[in-house]
A and B are shown apart, each in its own frame.
Chain A
Amino acid sequence: MTDNAKDRTGAKHRQLTGRVARWTAILTAGVVALSLAYDVERKILTPGPLSPEHRAVKDCGACHSNVGQGQFGWVSAILSRTDSHADNTRCLSCHNLGDAPHSSHSLPASRLKKTTKRKQEELAVAGDAATLANTANGLLDAALGTSGRNHASIGCATCHKEHLHADGAAHTATDRTCNACHQVGFTSFQSDHPDFTGYPSGGPAPIKYDHAKHFSEHFEKARTKQPDLKSMPKTCTDCHTPDARGQKLLLKPFDVACSACHLPQIVGADRATGPKGLSLLALPGLDIETLRSRGAPIGNWPEESEAELSPLMQVLLARDRKRRTMLATINKLDLLDLQAATDTETAAVVDMVWEIKELLHELSTVKVSNLLKRLRAATSNPVEREEITRMLGTLPRDVLLASARSWLPSLSQEIARHQRPGWQKAFRAKYAKRQARKGGGDEARADKPEPAVKPDIKLVHNPKGGRWYVSVLGEIVQEGLEPEGTRKAIRGEVEQPRKVAAKRPRQAASQPAGKTAQTNNDQPRSKPVDDETWSVYGGWYRKDYAIYYRPAGHADNFLRAWLDFSATAPSRKDDNVLAPVFEALTHEDAQGRCIKCHTVTRGPDNTARVVWGARGAKQSIQESAGFTRFSHAPHLSMLAKRGCLTCHELLKPKKTNKAAASNQSKPVPNPPSFKPITKVTCVACHASGKAPQDCRQCHTYHIAPTGPPLTPTRLPVEAVNEQN
């Protein structure tokens, strides 16, 4: 065979292969076309199965914003421009990423900028280079058009890839994805990650608990004090328990972990001196003698009272600016010694007396809802119904009525007289005029001849021409001329209301809440238990000239409500009546001792907040630290003999100056119990060839609060009406 024959054979062969190839291509195109035509579910277009969470989505356009409707709606999208913002919006119809969902870390750019700056400053101090930078400029960036590109708006699909694996999650973010911004060479956690600074960085624990001091001192003391105490913790798990997911290690409830030792402190059982309850209403003790000598018209007032004007009561009295000024004046005085008080101060005391009487009268006669108005008027804080329920709603009316009857039997008459127009003004004018004329109160009065009346009644000139007949306690028995009734009163023919209380003041004042002052003769003559002791399980009681609330136990609603309410006072001002309440309730020796364990945080406007819950389900380290997360569960089985101490190393207990601490009026900060966890501890396991050490192992990307977006569904009124 010749060369020509060879060529012919070769050409024939090439023709044959070419023909077969062309037919194969045609056949392939036909198969594709048929598949597209008859594949209703468009499986041929699917690049892979959706993740289980998205598998129910059948419409491609639900996620792909540029894909149109219909069997071939996708064809028009081939040449259309990709709009990541529109695609993100599709994602956000189901996934709520907060207010800045398109930004890096789902955070507003301003906050991210602050965080970046702070982090860079921290790292600069630690001698590390800046960790955040834009992608490096260069030839590649110039070619790709990525020069100067910022990452303030990032498409969800940058990290979240779908259609990957049947059982896989829809994300593929890797360490390199993180390194797009965090550019310092993070080849591994083990070698490149900077050491931790103060981790866990969730801030001070909400509960003040010096672990080392409890282990070394308090538990020992408690054992000595109560040898039969069985609930003394012996292991960490006696007080701590993992949550359902094992992520956080929660503090067990107060009843389990703390009550054995701390409940008596809350209910005041271990309080040796002072009231065990918190005074809400009281007739404060006054220097009656001085007031009487100055002719101050305070009406009936118990001489024996040594009660103090409580900060809580001041809130109820401070209805307006004038009264707040009055209270500010009162707070500067020693009410039991008013000899040095000026006229203005004396007038303030008189005002206070009548304000207290009006308050008691109002509480006895008007609806308790009036207190809501008083509280709203006293503070700029909004007060809700729920708050007043917890603050005052449990106060029994019987206690109020019994107290008012016992303390001020003629309260109604006094209020009626006091409310007559011009009375106060007239008295003050007269008083001022006399002071100006005589230059002194007592001397002036001593010089003036008084009418011959009973020794406990004094005659005071009325500027309108009549006279005031004032009882020994300053009560105006009658005013004007001397009608028959007045003369009877002066002669002692009219029963002096004061006498009822004066005869047996202590006995009447210390009856149990809601009971009358009558003595039951049928009862054996054993020493009756006093109200304060009787209220060992908490509640309202009256003692002397005050109404107290004794905490019922842990998480007492009354104390908590008043603490939360008063905490909102930004700072101490003269006319701020809430700040003293907060100070009184947060004092180390305050009833309930709430702040002995609970921390107080202060906001930028100096408003305080009592952190009630332990770090638990609502506040986790992850939530407080933001970018970092930790789950205890996978680590618990890795602990050796040292258990929790493998990572949590105790700090030595700090010696506290008890004298200084007892004088402490402000909440003390919560010192940490454990040394900060260092990177070395983690690297022991999270290292090359051991446990994983990629970025997302410990760091969270989306730190903005997330949650399912709710679809606003209108009530189906029309449908119901149609059915009817």
Chain B
Amino acid sequence: MRTFLLKALMVTLAFAGVFWLTRAFELRLLDPVFMTGWVLAAAMALQLMLRLKKHMPQLVPGGLPGWTQRHIATGLFAVLIFALHISFSLPETALEWALFTLFAAVAASGLIGLYLVNVIPLKLENDGTSEPSEETPAARARIAASAVRLAIHSVEQSGSRAIVDLYTERLHEFFDRPRHALAHLQGSRRPLKQLVFAIDAADREDRLSPHDALDEMKALVRSKYALDSRHAHELALKAWLFVHLPATYALMVLTLFHVCTVYAFTLGGLDATAATAAIYEAR
């Protein structure tokens, strides 16, 4: 928490400094947009160092965790500078919208990634599943096979088709592949409750169905649900990068184009070289 506050303070101070600079530039009749633009470009370049560290660690000094922290702090700083750069207003043209959308995508995916990276590992540690994450598909297949065997065995044992019918109608789809990813990411247990309720209902409707088999089916459903939860979280941990990185690369291309057009079409503001009649020199 203390580290976080320290980082937040540093980002705030840096932003305040740039904000003061914009006012100082205006007082010198210089356009602060150029200054904020280059500050933003510098922040983005600093963020790319993390990627460079991962791919070519020998070129970039320092540890990966340190660069990750710098990446996060610079990202938050860049969001503020970007808002200052666009004067806290929405864009007007296609190019501006593209830049805005890409920056927003990079920033939003980064923030989501930051959240996921900090929250999901803790959740996975406490989800009660014993299997390592790499063995999740095999565990899911074993549970599905057990559920099939249990359904067949219950017919043979009691002559009741209640469990078989339940499996065919509801549980088959559930055991077949990972389900309810969104509910898992939201932390909802509603799909699980609905499945358990369906099993209890089958028990009430057919008095011949074996209670032990139904209890065993409930246990299999809970195990499968836990595996799905782990799978969904592990997927989320990887998926945000598929937005963050491509958006970053596209943003870099468009930023380069943006800088070129800006400098091609910049009109001269205050031109010191043309200043001839020095009205203040006599002061």
Contacts and interface: CB of A to CB of B under 8 A. Distances in A.
Interface of A: 1, 5-6, 9, 13-14, 16-18, 20-25, 27-29, 32, 43-49, 60, 63-64, 66-67, 74-75, 77-79, 82-88, 102-104, 108-110, 112-113, 116, 132-135, 140-141, 144-146, 149-158, 164-166, 174, 176-177, 179-180
B26 A177 contact: yes
**Closest 4 pairs (CB-CB, A-B):** A84-B268, A109-B277, A1-B134, A84-B271
Contacts of B245: 17-18, 20-21
A145 B272 contact: yes
Interface stretch (B37-45, B140-148, B253-261): B253-261
B207 interface: no
14 contacts: A23-B246, A43-B93, A47-B93, A47-B96, A64-B264, A77-B265, A88-B268, A104-B279, A151-B29, A152-B275, A153-B275, A155-B270, A157-B269, A165-B92
B5 interface: no
A82 B267 contact: yes
Interface in B30-71: 30, 54-55
B6 interface: no
A645 B241 CA distance: 71
A14 B54 contact: yes
B4 interface: no
A482 B94 CA distance: 114
B65 to A, nearest CB: 16
Given A21-B245, A47-B261, A151-B275, A64 B267 contact: yes
A27 to B, nearest CB: 8
A50 B128 CA distance: 62
Given A21-B245, A24-B249, A158 B270 contact: yes
A702 to B, nearest CB: 16
B134 A5 contact: yes
Contacts of B238: 13
B276 interface: yes
B135 A1 contact: yes
A21 B248 contact: yes
B169 interface: no
A179 B276 CA distance: 21
A6 B28 contact: no
B267 A78 contact: no
B272 A75 contact: no
A150 B281 contact: yes
A83 B279 contact: no
B274 A153 contact: yes
Contact of A154 (B29, B96, B278): B29
Contacts of A87: 267-268
B39 to A, nearest CB: 14
B250 interface: yes
B265 A146 contact: no
B265 A24 contact: no
A149 B282 contact: no
B241 A17 contact: yes
Nearest to B248: A21
B95 A44 contact: yes
A1 B132 contact: yes
Contacts of A79: 263
B28 A180 contact: yes
Given A5-B134, A21-B245, A174 B26 contact: yes
Given A23-B246, A140-B24, A157-B268, 4 more contacts: A9-B134, A153-B274, A154-B271, A180-B26
Contacts of B283: 133-134
Contacts of B279: 104, 109, 112-113, 116, 150-152
Contact of B280 (A6, A23, A134, A156): A134
A135 B30 CA distance: 12
B267 A24 contact: no
B23 interface: yes
A141 B93 CA distance: 34
A23 B242 CA distance: 12
Contacts of A63: 267
A218 to B, nearest CB: 49
A154 B277 contact: no
A87 B270 CA distance: 11
A153 B260 CA distance: 27
B254 A180 contact: no
A60, A79, A150, A157 interface centre (most CB from chain B within 10 Å): A150
B254 to A, nearest CB: 6
Nearest to A113: B279
B268 A149 contact: no
Contact of B275 (A29, A48, A140, A149): A149
B261 A45 contact: yes
Contacts of B1: none
A144 B30 CA distance: 10
B252 interface: yes
A85 B260 contact: no
A25 B250 contact: yes
B186 interface: no
Contact of A47 (B21, B27, B54, B265): B265
B73 interface: no
A84 B242 contact: no
A149 B55 CA distance: 48
Contacts of B92: 47-49, 164-166
B266 interface: yes
Given A60-B265, A75-B264, A165-B92, A24 B246 contact: yes
A146 B94 contact: no
B139 to A, nearest CB: 12
Contacts of B282: 113
Contacts of A149: 28, 270, 272, 275
B226 interface: no
B277 A74 contact: no
Nearest to A112: B279
A177 B269 CA distance: 12
Contacts of A179: 27
Contacts of B268: 82-88, 155, 157
B272 A32 contact: no
A153 B276 contact: yes
A79 B93 CA distance: 24
A135 B253 contact: no
A21 B246 contact: yes
Given A45-B261, A47-B265, A151 B270 contact: yes
B247 interface: yes
B265 A152 contact: no
A503 B28 CA distance: 92
Interface in B104-136: 132, 134-135
A180 B253 contact: no
Given A13-B238, A152-B276, A176 B23 contact: yes
Nearest to B241: A17
A5, A47, A77, A110 interface centre (most CB from chain B within 10 Å): A47
B28 A146 contact: yes
Nearest to A100: B277
Nearest to A76: B264
Contacts of A151: 29, 270, 275, 279-280
Nearest to A45: B261
A112 B177 CA distance: 82
